[in-house]
Structure 1
Amino acid sequence: MDTLDKKLTSIFDGKVVRKDLLHRIKKGTNVPTFVLEFLLARYCASDDIAEIQAGLEAVLETLQDNYVRPNEANKAQSKVATKGKYRFIDKVHVNYVENDRRHWAALENFDSRRVAISEKFYRDHDRLLQGGLWAEVTIAYNEIEDDDYAFYIEDLRPIQLSRFDFERYCEGRNEFSRNEWLDVVLRSVGLEPSKLSQRVKMHFIARLMPLVEPNYNFIELGPRGTGKSYFFSEFSPYSTLVSGGQATKATLFYNNQRKKIGLVGFWDTVAFDEVGGIKVKDQDTIQIMKDFMANGRFSRGVEVIADASMAFVGNLDLSVEQIVNSEVYDLFQPLPKEFDLAVMDRFACYLPGWEMPKNSSDFLTNNYGFITDYIAEAFHYQLKQTNRYQEVSKRIRLGASVEGRDEKGIKKTVAAFLKILHPTGSPSDEEFEEYVAYAVETRRRVKEQMNKRKSDDEFAKINLSYLDSKGQEIVVYCPESKLAHATQVPARRDIHAGGNKQETQPPQKTTATVPTVTKLPLVEAKESSPELPLPELQEQHFTIHYGATGYNYESIINPYLEGAKSVEIEDPYIRVTHQIQNFVRFCEAIIKTPSVRKITLITSYDDETDVKEMASRLGELKQSLLELDIALDVKVNEHMHDREIRIDNGWTVKIGRGLDFFQKPDSWFGVGVNDLMLRKCLETKVDIFKRSSQ
């Protein structure tokens, strides 16, 4: 134990843990950090070597006996059935299944989606309903054979602090200098500050800002393997990481079908990993995101206000030197095309990920730091309960080039520094100016890239500055672009004409000497041909012959879905497994039309149908569609025989065999199993016609 360890353990007794113990256990399991430290704090809260060793063995034993590994789900279920009940450490989700009119719990690694749960648990812990929650959970076996579930939750204890004393936290902070506290925070996230430069220390603190400042918009792009997503996936139980995939307004913001707020209402931070891979289904999602990033509120029929910060992390595939000296590329290059200048302008901080060290055990600490859950609670309390923005506004003085969103972003960054490093009291002038300079730089990085993209001077005031305590104006530069002429004085090209004519309009001259660099090759833009009007949709009547290929639901129906909001399908044979799978494929095809919001299925069943299984599978599909803000309504008509698809824009599609016109594959490992365009068909007639207006 060094001097800082002794000081920390004496002032925050019971709130700290040796981080090297975490490193030892972490390598052997995929359990989140705050779960491991929860156990370490329980069993290893001592500085006695023998007690720590015994506690470490107890932690390992607990993980061995109680942590459910994904490949041991069957063993865990058998253990509950044999012993009557058993306590596990697992992530618990709770879903409302409308078909059953009740809530079911799903345990991630226990691998059961129909675990009964008492209302008191999800009423007291909202996160069970949105995203799930790691917990110590006692699963009991249901002996009643008539019930439709085998397991129920008898007890549930979230793995997080039950109470947090912010005043005590602040009192302890007052015993440390600013630099000591900075090192304590870094050790708490597992890093050894003595191995890091002051600038890199500030970068790591900046990664924590979305966890402590409400509605804080943060972006970090850089090389792979620097731990960009760790802080959001492992450090705090109050943040969630969205890993690529489709970003929908129902999931992120508000689900109109369920009348439920999305992720931004349940988490302090919503982080997007691999931001370049995000797929945006419709433009409304981006518009709502802009509104939310601007002021923490949006409207989707109801006015919603939330505190969640948004963080975006991703990878740069080009070298920074290439980018800043290129007239074509900019440091926002990996972002999806839907992220326009209005989204970029809302970023308060662009952290230079290329300056971060690669993940290495050399940078891990063997000293004491806060239990991750404890410091996460401190950050959560400050995000919800404290406001340092007004304090910063009274003290900060910014230069003339700082405009509206620049000022807001800079002030929020400085306020976040104060919350993390000065939860009580104020920093010295020197410390305050260090925070301001960093905040101005990370905002300038955003503005430089927008100025590079814009064909006019809207963002040309890039020389952001502040006034120090002596009244002297200090212009802040970004180290990577200070000498890059292509970034400081970007060429103004006509982005619409596609020609090579350039008008160089230096927004603010820089006297720096520009080094000679090899520019990336310009990609010539081809002249776009005038768009031809789309052909008018015609009625169609044709036969799909036996053995034909080249057909799927999308190719037949999607051209007729333009402007459609609801689709109604009558088909008596949506009952057994392969027929329901066809219906799933049909739904996947039509929801690619963004305007569709409702699907109605009218079907039937006979005496041989397993109605319970049929209802269960359609219920799962219904829940899946609800996540995309699409309602599925299932109706049963025992005497129906017709097969017809009716679209609310007036078109009707009749397929003689209904959806079941594909042959069964000769082999389930052959071509055509997954891609229906390659699968052979049965013979059927297809009629597509416009219904006469009533």
Structure 2
Amino acid sequence: MKTLNEKINTHFAGKVVRKDLTKLVKGNAIVPTYVLEYLLGQYCATDDEETIIQGVETVKTIIAKHFVHREESQIIKSMVREKGSHRIIDKVAVQLNDRQDRYEASFANLGLTRIPISDSIIKEHQKLLSSGVWCILTLGYSPSEERDHTPWFVESLKPIQVSNVDIDEYKSTRKQFSKEEWIDMLMQSIGLNPTEFTFRSKLLQLTRLVPFVENNYNLIELGPKGTGKSHIYSEMSPHGILISGGEVSKAKLFVNNSSGEIGLVGYWDVVAYDEFAGKTKRVDRGLVDIMKNYMANKSFSRGTQVYGASASMVFVGNTDHSVAYMLKHSDLFDALPKDYYDTAFLDRMHAYLPGWEVQKLRNEMFTSEYGFIVDYLAEILKNLRKEDRTHDYTKFFELSSTITTRDKTSIAKTYAGLIKVIYPDDAYSELEAKEILDFAIENRKRVKDQLRKMDETFEEVDFSYVSKSSGESFDIETLEEIQYKPKPVVSEGNENQMVSNESSPQIKDKIQLNPGQKIIRDNQTGISYDNLFGAYLLNSSDIKVVDPYVRLPYQLRNLMEFAKLIAEKKETDSEVKLHLVTSNNEDFIANVKEAFDQMTYSLESMGIIFSYEFDDYIHDRSITSDNGWKIILGRGLDIWQKTGGWYDISEYVQEQRICKACEITFVKEG
């Protein structure tokens, strides 16, 4: 992280901030992250510690003096009255009063409404006419004895957002970072610690940025509570707005037939609906029909007038059941309100992000390292909306002819959005393009698979594609398909090795197993040592494990769980030798030796004779048994992501743990 931080500050000086500073200045201010980082960017966009300390104090002072807390609104009003004017930070919304032919502002925290504001300010900042914008403004007070006179007025106003970003400089500087460094920097920019996430998990997080970078992009994410589904849409950009799913109306969203005012889609780049799920929620059926038309055609109408807009739509909500339950008994849209449980509406979704793969946010998953000031990143993403990358995948690949136009558009938009986010300089290899295309196809396939379950008139689609350079064809499956597809267990006479998602019963009879390979994907669940290679340990009396990294507590736990599996597979009255070859260093050696000695004593009572040695030159990872099988482990025994701790069931049940991507190869020796 230190090296990356230095690189970030070298190439993006003045445009990045240390992410833990936001917490230091926030206090009890209920204010979005982009507002705080806008201020931090003015005073703390550096890696000089002394400047940071001074800058934090300055921002704290600004927040204390100018931010309007609701409970202190009367004090602020009194201050404005006594001084004649005062600078404040508040959320401002404006409406046209057609009776008096003037614009009037309302202040979310200060509580003032119907305050006159000049036409020139509205012409410059039209977004004020929507649901409110955070601003730094000077509020004035001028008493008068005139009847119906309002003493309050707005002297000056500036929305809190960065302006004049250099998109060409941003793109050229991207070339100084590797793919991994850039993705980690983006993760830190949205406040997350990249070391806690796999590549696939990072893609899930970064896909939440696609609506900000791609026009008219429709995204749905359903999953458990506490995974941060709505955070980005409320905190990370002044160009997105998060509203409660229950507050949506035709007038608020599209156009008010009484006043003629354009709704949210006319002013915002992203309109996100929080708490969108809930079977019992009441919905205006007419609104659903308007949304269907807008999501398909990028337009909406009022009478004979047709309006176009580019706002992306995001729908986030909580699921009621586990994925396995939904796949067996209903479908993955099961939690939606009845009127949104409409195949024509859901077919407009370009991608379904699997929220159940996103881990619940823990303290260690947040970063204290450097990342872009989020408002700077927001302006970059807004600029990238102007670019069309939807045909870029055709440089390398050709989609199956059975994929419909709507499916192709969906795949292309997700692909284009992620390319803009990760490769804004348009410099990437075919392999890197394949990673993005696979992910884009999977997220559209998830939509289509559920539509086929809901309505049998939807035809099955072959979500495959061909590489133009090699001619090789690739078939895409969703991760839940792989995890929950019924699979036969190993049985006597079976010609092929199969892996079940349920622990296979102990098998004592002779079985036939063929050499082969098992590929485990990022975030896959349902995997245990038993259903991976339990059958290959039968009839063993001498097993050697080579794994250079067995030193940390969870790695030692993995070794003990492997020993437990050996005990389950051997005859009760037999003994099995288990020898570990690993490496170590001075920081861990004493504790590890003590742990291994305790294991030796403990396992002896189960008929396992444990021994170990240290070899600092090993790199490969494998399990070799005297029954003739060698199992090559891509990651060693460490195949799972971190669990949530003692009170997380996955700490105790391997099948509940989330996997890291790896390959397991079975080789018959001799």
TM-score by length of 2: 0.70
1:325, distance to aligned residue in structure 2 (A): 2.3
Q: Secondary structure at the match of 2:480?
A: coil
Shift of 1:251: 1.4
Deviation at 1:321, TM superposition (A): 1.5
- Taking the aligned partners of 1:84 and 1:389, their CA distance within structure 2 comes to 54
- Return the alpha-carbon distance in structure 1 between the equivalents of residues 260 and 404 of structure 2: 38
Aligned twin of 2:351: 349
**Contact 2:19 2:369 (C-alpha < 8 Å) held by counterparts:** yes
Q: Is the counterpart of residue 140 in structure 1 residue 143 in structure 2? A: no
Distance in 1 of aligned mates of 2:414 and 2:208: 11
Q: What code does the residue aligned with 2:364 have?
A: D
Q: Give the counterpart letter for 2:61 in structure 1.
A: E
1:333 corresponds to: 334
Counterpart amino acid of residue 148 in structure 1 = H
Q: Secondary structure at the match of 1:255?
A: coil
Aligned to 1:163: 164
Q: Give the C-alpha shift of residue 12 in structure 1.
A: 1.2
Asked whether the equivalents of residues 215 and 295 of structure 1 are also in contact (C-alpha less than 8 Å), the reply is no
The Cα shift of 1:295 comes to 2.6
> Which segments of 5 or more consecutive residues in structure 1 lack a partner in the other structure?
488-510, 518-694
CA contact (8 A) 1:213 1:412 kept: yes
Residue in 2 that maps onto 1:202: 203
Counterpart residue number, 2:40: 40
- Cα deviations by residue, 1:19-65 (Å, 9 ceiling, x for unpaired): 11113334643211011001111121332222211211111111111
Check conservation: 1:37, 1:371, Cα contact below 8 A. Answer: yes
Correspondences of 1:81-92 after superposition (within 5 Å): 81-92=81-92
Q: Residue 144 of structure 1: CA displacement? A: 2.2
Asked if structure 1 preserves the Cα contact closer than 8 Å seen for 2:38 and 2:162, the reply is no
- The aligned amino acid for 2:378 is A
Q: In structure 2, the residue corresponding to 1:460 is in which secondary structure?
A: coil
Distance 1:246 1:59, change over 3 A: closer
Distance 2:103 2:13 in 1: 41
Aligned partners of 1:216, 1:9: CA distance in 2, in Å? 33
Backbone CA RMSD of aligned residues: 2.1
Contact preservation (8 Å) 2:22, 2:37: yes
Partners of 2:331 and 2:502 in 1: CA distance: 18
Contact residue 325 and residue 484 of structure 1 kept, 8 A: no
> Does residue 314 of structure 2 align to residue 311 of structure 1?
yes
Where does residue 430 of structure 2 map in the other structure? 429
How far residue 225 of structure 1 moved from its aligned partner, in angstroms, is 0.7
3-state SS in 1 of match to 2:228: coil
Q: In structure 1, what is the Cα distance between the partners aligned to 2:177 and 2:502? A: 48
Q: 1:217 — aligned with what?
A: 218
In the alignment, structure 1 residue 438 sits paired with structure 2 residue 422: no
Q: Kindly indicate whether the alpha-carbon contact (under 8 Å) linking 1:444 and 1:478 is maintained by their aligned counterparts in 2.
A: yes
Give matches, 1:644-663, under 5 Å: none
Query: Does the alignment pair 1:149 with 2:160?
Result: no
Give the drift of 1:274: 0.5
Q: Which amino acid aligns with 1:45?
A: A
- SS of 1:241's partner is strand
SS of alignment partner, residue 240 of structure 1: strand
Aligned to 2:464: 465
Alignment map for 1:230-309 (pairs within 5 Å)? 230-276=231-277, 282-300=284-302, 301-309=304-312
Count the aligned residue pairs: 489
Q: Which residue of 1 aligns with 2:16?
A: 16
CA shift for structure 1 position 74: 0.9
Cα separation, 2, equivalents of 1:17 and 1:26: 15
Secondary structure of the corresponding residue to residue 63 of structure 2: helix
Contact 2:102-2:116 within 8 A present in 1 as well: no
**Contact preservation (8 Å) 2:396, 2:430:** no
Q: Aligned partners of 1:358 and 1:27: how far apart in 2?
A: 24
Show the counterpart of 2:561.
none
Any idea what SS the aligned residue of 1:437 has? helix
After superposition, where does 1:596-615 map in structure 2 within 5 Å? none
**1:409 and 2:407 aligned:** no
CA separation of 1:86/1:330 partners in 2, compared to 1, >3 Å: closer, same or farther?
same
Change (3 A) 1:237 1:254: same
SS of 1:260's equivalent in the other structure is coil
**Partners of 1:188 and 1:371 within 8 A in 2:** yes
1:322 and 2:325 correspond? yes
Q: 1:88, CA displacement in angstroms?
A: 0.5
User: Which residue matches 1:121?
Assistant: 121
Q: Are the counterparts in 1 of residues 163 and 379 from structure 2 also a CA contact under 8 Å?
A: no
* Cα drift, residue 401 of structure 1: 3.8
Which SS does the other structure have where 2:352 is aligned?
strand
CA contact (8 A) 1:324 1:481 kept: no
- In 1, Cα distance between the equivalents of 2:94 and 2:70? 19
Partner of 1:633: none
How much identity, in percent, do the aligned residues show?
40
Decide whether aligned partners of structure 1 residues 45 and 513 sit closer, same or farther in structure 2, where only a CA change above 3 A counts: closer
Question: Which structure 2 residues correspond to residues 381-396 of structure 1 after superposition, within 5 A?
Answer: 381-383=383-385, 385-396=386-397
CA positional deviation for 1:148: 2.1
- Map of 1:96 onto structure 2: 96
Structure 1 residues 177 and 304: alpha-carbon distance in aligned structure 2, compared to 1, 3 A threshold: same
Offset from partner CA, 1:617-636 (integer Å, 9 cap, x none): xxxxxxxxxxxxxxxxxxxx
Asked if structure 1 preserves the Cα contact closer than 8 Å seen for 2:220 and 2:351, the reply is yes
Contact 2:283 / 2:337 at 8 angstroms: preserved in 1? no
Partner residue, 1:371: 373
Residue equivalent to 2:192: 191
Report the residue type matching 1:355 in the other structure: E
The residue that corresponds to 1:563 in the other structure is none
Give the drift of 1:280.
6.1
**Which residue matches 2:620?**
none
Q: Which amino acid aligns with 2:253?
A: L
